[in-house]
Amino acid sequence: MSTVTTDSTLAAPARGSRTMTVWIGVLIALILIGFAVWIYQMIHGLQITHMRDNVIWGVYIITFMFFVGLSAGGLIVASAGRLFNVERFTPIVRLAVVEATVTIATAALLIIPDLGHAGRIYNLFFHPHWLSPMIWDLTVILVYLVLSLLYLWLYMRRDLAARGSWMALGTKDTSDKARAHDHHLTYTLAWIALPAAVLVHSITAWIFGLQISRGFWYSAIMPPLFISSALVSGLALVTILAFIVRRSGRVSFGDELGGFLGGLLAVFLAVEAFLVLCEVLAGYYPGIPTDAVHQLFTGRYAPGFGVEIVVGLVIPFVLMARAALRRQPRFVVTASVLALIGIFVHRANLIVIGLGKDPITLPPGTPLGTPQANGSSFATSSVYFPSVWEFLVVLGIVGLSALLFTLAIKYLPLKEKSPT
């Protein structure tokens, strides 16, 4: 049986390989451009971004949160499936762990361009300050990365050994008994992976949620909200990837799995909607006109909140709540894409609204860090939209993520055989 996986890896369709070459070429181009822009940013400083002293963090941190969420969501779905023996997940469980591993590595990379003095990043290890949630996050992300790599390897090492890959790292035994042993080990590791995935995103939430300086963030609901966003986006990405990879034959499952994933997505969307309601209502009800929550309904960011609710929550929920539509892969993928967009916008709203409203609104306001076109160095509030440079750096890192994922799909045995 083990030779089957070897065949499916080597026998890539000829038409697909040309598309693959173009795809990899585009990704490498994106990576090189992003890297060049990062060098340019290192030379000229973060002034090439549109972040300033009143909107301190921007698209780098938004995308960082988004990718930590993608990873946590993917691993929660994969390990919960393993832990509760949801056999239906089995065909895509390896894919989900690959997704979790690649996205957490991407998230870690996304921090680097945000640093003003990235060359001193070693200070995080030499002089850690254990009261800082950022150090908690760094620690948990590194542990989590190692854990998901180990988890992935445990899932695959017998298949890797069977095809004689160096990635088996000395594993030779490919007997059914050894496979059963590993199957049990993945169960044990799922016990660690599930809480670790919850923790990795809770701590990311605490980076924001523990800061009393920002009223929009300082809330106990942040970790649950982050976890629910992670579940929606992680499941959505795994679903999309599963349908894409299925076309190459490297994973195989029936459309009914899509239906199951779509139904699960509807549940996660409902939870997300509930938590967003809890958060917004608690901010809105007291009727304090200066509260940042009002920016969700009026002003420049209001369309973003509309997208978050309508495109990201209502439409995919309505689609996936109907069993007839869940059975059709194109609707499942559409709903997943919309949910992904919605969660990204949700996270962007969280950052720009949380930071954009100055704690001190007395005129002339906050010094911005560079002189502005109108001659003033101050502003009482500000709006943020990323500069072209920021987009290019983010695209480069996302391109690297896509390249890693493409290579993983190409070279790793993704087909899981159900133990019988």
Partner 1 sequence: MSTSYVGIDVPDPALQKATRLGMVVDQDRCIGCWSCAVACKEQQDVGIGLYWLRVLTVGGDAMDVPAGTFPALTMSYQSTNCFHCDNPPCVKACPTQATYKMPNGIVNVNYDRCIGCRYCMVACPYDNRVFNWRAPVQEPPASVTVVGETPARPKGVVEKCTFCVQRTSDGLLPRCVVACPTGARVFGDLDDPNSKVSILLRDRPSYVVFPERGTKPSLHYLIRQGPNTVGGAL
Distance of CA 361 to the CA centre of its chain: 34
Name the minimum Å distance from CB 355 to partner 1: 7
Q: Which is nearer to partner 1, 40 or 191 (CB)?
A: 40
Q: Which is nearer to partner 1, 138 or 275 (CB)?
A: 138
Name the minimum Å distance from CB 85 to partner 1: 40
Q: Which is nearer to partner 1, 111 or 236 (CB)?
A: 111
Look at residues 283, 269, 278 and name the one whose alpha carbon lies nearest to residue 229.
269
Q: What residue type is assigned to position 132 of the chain?
A: S
How far is the C-alpha of 230 from the C-alpha of 203, rounded, in Å?
13
Q: Which is nearer to partner 1, 68 or 265 (CB)?
A: 68
Q: Which is nearer to partner 1, 50 or 82 (CB)?
A: 50
Name the minimum Å distance from CB 48 to partner 1: 9
Which residues of the shown chain bind partner 1 in the complex (CB under 8 A)? 44-47, 49, 51-54, 56-57, 111, 114-118, 120-121, 123-124, 127-129, 131-135, 138, 207, 211-214, 355, 358-360, 362-371, 377-378
Name the minimum Å distance from CB 212 to partner 1: 5
Q: Which is nearer to partner 1, 195 or 367 (CB)?
A: 367
The neighbouring-strand residues paired with 357 are: 381
Name the minimum Å distance from CB 45 to partner 1: 4
Name the minimum Å distance from CB 397 to partner 1: 17
Q: Which is nearer to partner 1, 239 or 366 (CB)?
A: 366
How far is the C-alpha of 193 from the C-alpha of 79, rounded, in Å?
6
Name the minimum Å distance from CB 8 to partner 1: 45
Look at residues 45, 64, 200 and name the one whose alpha carbon lies nearest to residue 118.
45
Contacts of 47 (CB under 8 A, 6+ apart): 369, 370
Name the minimum Å distance from CB 122 to partner 1: 9
Q: Which is nearer to partner 1, 55 or 105 (CB)?
A: 55
